[in-house]
Amino acid sequence: MPKRSSFKNRFAFYLLAIGSACGLGNLWRFPYIVGENGGGAFLLVYVFLSLTIGLALLIAELMIGHFSGSSILEASRRIAIRTKIPFTYFGWLSVLISAATLAYYSVICGWVLHYLTQFVISLLQSDTNAYLAQMSIGLLQKNGWLQFLLASVHLLLTVVIVVKGIEEGVERWVSYLLPVFGVLVIVLLMGSLSLETTPEVLRFLFYPDFSKLNWGSLGHAVGHVFFTLSLGFGVMVTFGSYLKEKQHLPTVGLRVTVIDTFISILSVLLIFPIAFSSSKIPLTDPSLLFDALPQYLSTFKGGVLFGMVFFLCLWLAALNASVGLLETVTANLIEKRPDFKRSRAATIAGTAILLVTIFPAFSQSLFKDVKISGHSIIETLDLFLINGLLPVAGIGMVVIVLTALTEKDRSDLFIDPMNLTSRIMYSHWKIFLKWLVPSVVVLGLLFQAIGFFLKYRN
Ligand code: TRP
C-alpha cells in the first residue's frame, strides 16, 4: 500500500474537511428541507441529530481512515479478508452512491452556473435590478436541454480536473476561498435580518411546533445530516487516512460538525426573511434559494456584484464537491481494474454519470408525467439516495468500526490521556454508535415507508 502523505499543518486539513462539508447542502438544500418540514421543530431535531449521530459517525469514518491508512474500498476489502465477513459490499455501496449523487448534483451545479451567467448578463442590461427581479428558476427547470448542457459543462470540467490529477490543488484553492464566502454570507445575512419579516421568521425557526412534523421528517433530518457532513460516501475515510499521528479525532470531528451546523443555521436565517417577504416564493421547493436571493439583491444598488461573487463561490464549492465525488469513483475503478489509466477511468466514470444525468435534467420537461408517489424524478432520486441509501451506508461504517477495530484500537484513537472527560465521552460515543445511530436510521426509514404507504393509499 502506498504511504499517504501527511498534511503539513492542521489548518490545511481543517480547511479541506470543512470545504467538503460546507456547500450546496447547507445553502441550497437545507433551507427548503426546513421549509418542507415546518420550521422550528425540524430544526431542533436536525441540530440534535447532527451533534449526536452525525458527530459520532464522522469520528468513526475518520477513525477507519486513520486506522487503515487507505480509502473505503481498500479498507473494507482488507477488513473483509481479516474478518471473513463480506464488508466489501459496503465499500461498493459508497462508491455507487458517490456516482449517483454526482449525476443529480451536477444538474443543481448547472443551475448555479446558469445564475452566475445571468448575473453577468444583467450587468449588460440598461436596468440591471429590473433584470434581477424577474429572474426565476422555473423557466430553466422546464428547459431540459439547457439543464443537460449546463450539467455536461460542469461534469466535463470535473473530469478534466480529475484526469489532470490537479484535484488537491483545486481543493486547496477552493478551501482558501471559503472564508471569503463566509464573510459574504454574513454581510448578506445582516441585510436580510433587518427586513421586517424577521420576527415572524425567528418564531418560525426557533419556536418548535411538533405538530408540523410529518412521517418523512425524521428520515429527512437523518439523510441531510449524512449529506451535509459528507458521511456514507467514504470521503471522510480518505481524509482520516491523511491525518497526522497525534491529532485527536473527536476534537477534529466536533469542530467540523459545529461549523457545518452553524453555517446551515446562518443560511436559513439568510433565506427565510427574504422568502417570507414575498408570497411568490414557495418555502418548500428546491427553487427556494434561487428564487429568494436575486429578489433581495435586486432591491439595492450593487446587489448584482454580491450576487456574482455569491454564485461564483457557491459554484466553486460545488465543483470541489463534484471533484471529490468523481475522484472516489475513479480511484476505486482503478483499484478494481489496474490496467485502466487514470484518464480512461475518469472518462468512463464521467460518461456513465452523464448518461444518468439525463433523468434529473429532463425531469420537469420530457419526463414531467413520470411521478413516483407524487414526486418528480429529480425529487425521487434525491429521496432515494440521500434519505434512503446514505443512512444504510452509514450503518456499514458503524459495523466496520465496531467489528474490525479492537477495543484497544478504538480507545487509543479516541481517548486523550491528558483529558479526563475524553474517557467519559468515549463510552457515550460507543453507545451512540451501537444504539442511537442504528435505531434512528431504522426509525427514519420506517416512518418514511409508512408515509409513502399512506400517501399511496389516498
Ligand atoms: N457535504 C456537501 C454539501 O453539503 C456535499 C457532499 C456530499 C460532498 N458528498 C460529498 C462534498 C463528497 C465533497 C465530497 O454540499
What is the tens place of the pLDDT at every residue in 60-107? 999 998 888 888 888 888 888 877 888 888 888 999 999 999 999 999
- List ligand 1's pocket residues with C-beta within 6 A: 20-21, 23-26, 227-228, 230, 233, 235, 321, 324-325
126 CB burial (10 A radius; 0-12, 13-18, 19+): exposed
Do residues 102 and 326 make contact, with C-beta atoms less than 8 angstroms apart? Answer: yes
User: For the chain, what is the radius of gyration of the CA atoms?
Assistant: 22
4/379: higher pLDDT: 379
Residue partners of 154: CB distance under 8 A and separation at least 6: 106, 109, 110, 113, 318, 319, 322
- Ligand 1 centroid to Cα of residue 298, in Å, is 30
- Ligand 1 centroid to Cα of residue 227, in Å, is 6
- Ligand 1 centroid to Cα of residue 277, in Å, is 30
308/281: higher pLDDT: 308
Query: Which residue, by CA, sits nearest to atom 10 of ligand 1?
Result: 230
Tens of pLDDT, residues 411-424:
888 888 887 888 88
Angle of the 249-276 helix axis to the 40-49 helix axis, nearest 10: 170
What is Dmax (Cα atoms) for the chain? 69
Looking at 27-31, 44-48, 91-95, which range is the least confident one?
A: 91-95
- Quick one: CA dihedral 414, 415, 421, 425, positive or negative? positive
Q: Which of 367, 313, 362 is nearest to 145 (CA)?
A: 362
What is the pLDDT, as a whole number, of residue 35?
Answer: 95
At 281, the pLDDT band (50, 70, 90 cuts) reads confident
- Ligand 1 centroid to Cα of residue 194, in Å, is 31
| Residue from 15, 18, 20 whose mutation best tests the ligand 1 pocket (most atoms within 8 A of CB) | 20
Tell me how far apart the alpha carbons of residues 322 and 336 are, in angstroms, rounded to a whole number. 21
